[in-house]
A = this chain, B = another copy of it.
């Protein structure tokens, strides 16, 4: 039997449509369209592609593109002053600092200047603390995109055994917190986990964000379980994830790479920007 494929591209489209509707409602209710300030420092070609995609998605949803670009030799003070200006500007709902920044800059010091309520990437220490304490805040885009995949595909989380592979600040750790918030029993695995296959086989819900191509094979998967592959790698045969394709013969549901988690990340950036705009404009949650 072959696993049901969780179509991230289609789900992301639904989220983006919902966000566009939300933007229209906000404006109709007398608010102003959310403004997203992407910040690019330097001319890294990969970063330029990412930024272009984010800006396109932003305008397609009816938001205002407030993109900022600094030359690659901008110093720390200049970059900090730009973020401070965006932080103070009421037209800016969300600030996204594209990483990596040039090596002569301190990215943590720059991220720390983004106010928690405009941190639409959900990466600041302030938002990590809010998530850890279960308080309202902006959540990191990739793990919240995974949560939407679960919800839109009827994956039961309450009381489920969930296993997360990888403990990055960007994905693994916040993923574990979000699953816990939904009452899953959560195990966090990593490179020092002794018998990864044994631990993963317990998982009714398995999220893999290890950054190692093909790490998870059929013997890591519980028959019928849901497997989410956050990895993305460019190999000789094309793009692949952290999960071996043979897993589709064991899993009940599986995200493809590409077209699984990837498209959800930008969609959740838009959702976060709308949430931030509503809060900043005192228009509450939908």
Number of interface residues of A (CB under 8 A): 33
- Would B185 and A199 count as touching, CB distance under 8 A? yes
A134 touches B185 (CB 8 A): no
Q: Does A190 lie at the interface of the complex (its beta carbon under 8 Å from any beta carbon of B)?
A: yes
A2 CB–B CB distance under 8 Å: no
- 9-residue interface stretch from A42-50, A123-131, A146-154, A226-234: A123-131
**Which B residues touch A128, using CB under 8 A?**
128-129, 132-133
Chain B residue at minimal CB-CB distance from A194:
B159
B180 x A188 contact (CB < 8 A): yes
Chosen A-B contacts, 16 in total, with CB atoms closer than 8 Å, are A125-B126, A126-B129, A128-B132, A129-B130, A129-B132, A132-B132, A132-B169, A132-B173, A132-B177, A133-B173, A161-B199, A185-B187, A185-B188, A185-B193, A185-B194, A185-B199
- Minimum-distance CB pairs A-B, first 9: A129-B129, A125-B129, A183-B192, A128-B129, A187-B187, A128-B132, A132-B132, A185-B193, A159-B194
Besides A125-B132, A128-B128, A185-B194, 8 other CB < 8 A contacts? A127-B129, A128-B132, A129-B129, A131-B132, A158-B192, A176-B188, A185-B189, A185-B193
